[in-house]
Structure 1
Amino acid sequence: MIKNLNFVLCFFILLTSCRSIQKEEKTDSPMLALRDKVAFELCELYGADQSVRKTPGFENKFNLAILPTDTVVFDRFIKVVKEYGYPTIELVGEKNWKNECVESSSVSILLHNPHRLINNDEYMSLFLSEVEAGRMNREFLAAVLDKYYWVRRDEQGNKKLLYGSGFGKPCLKYRKESDAARQEIGLEPLKESDFIQCK
């Protein structure tokens, strides 16, 4: 009788444990599926972004191959951001985030498309809202925007940097423009020592 009671008690505990584990798995499964779905999309985008630059025969084919690919990749990335938010480790999970194609996709795509933010208020607002939501780093947004100016030169040949990012220090003669640009994305003005003297 006691053996039967122990067996029934053990069976009941085991059954309850299994049900709670099954319930947890069912709860987590949609989240895991979403994480994998977003991670897979980011890897596809990163693959397209990188392969068009590294595949033999495509070097220096900016207008023919790179620009059209960047446009398609950026447009798909915008859909991801609008639907799920700017990619973070919380969104895709730690396991997925460890993959280069997941972690580096946002950085690569945005640095190859800074003109899309500069020339389109909708995209600028979208990424500013992601910064305000805490999903995107404000300094990184400044670097993306500075990349646009890094390739542009004024009449004297100076780079037209504004944000004081890793792309370099702006010219002191552009201080007003720099202050306004940084204020727009919520950054304090640069100190005078953060500028360089230019022609």
Structure 2
Amino acid sequence: MDSHPLFARHDGMDMGDSSSSDTASSSGHSSTMMAVFQNSMATSLYSSSWTPTSTGTYAATCLFLIALAAAFRGLLAAKSWQEHRWLDRELARRYVVVNGKAPLAEALSRDSLAKEANATLTLGENGVEENVLVVRNRPTAHARPWRLSVDPVRAAIDTVVAGVGYLLMLAVMSMNVGYFLSVLGGTFLGSLLVGRFISVGEH
């Protein structure tokens, strides 16, 4: 009789342990299910209010992801193009007039034989040669200087690229097959259109 409460208390502990283990098992099962692809059309995208309820809305969501992934490749191409543009502007050839140096065209005009022998030298890559000297035409080893007209624009572009990339990542993390294939399809389409403008580092 005295041992009955102990058994009852022990049974209660068993029931509590059993319920807790069931809860842990169910939570583990749900976490495992999150890593499995599913094809439910009623998969929320970015918010609970964006949940397709029909085939049409699901298709529209997939088209949006295709366009977003293609736009992401376009942003990478635009960033790469802008970086090349900034670099070309910084590395543009600078010329200075050399004191006492006669222009090549003038020297050839005084010497008829030299003019006949080197007539093709009067026109070069930069047109008719003048009394100039190339100061610098290659990048320096140190870091490029901070510029108000360049670096804020670069930071804004990087922020937009990162934001769009994270949105695509969240769509893929929904584990919806349609969303996943839409992101891949948009990536293929964007690379097909502007992939040649994207530098290797941006990939």
Asked which structure has the greater RCO (Cα within 8 Å, sep 6+), the reply is: 2
Larger radius of gyration: 2
TM-score (norm 2): 0.29
* Structure richer in helix, relative to its length: 1
TM-score (norm 1): 0.30
* Structure richer in strand, relative to its length: 2
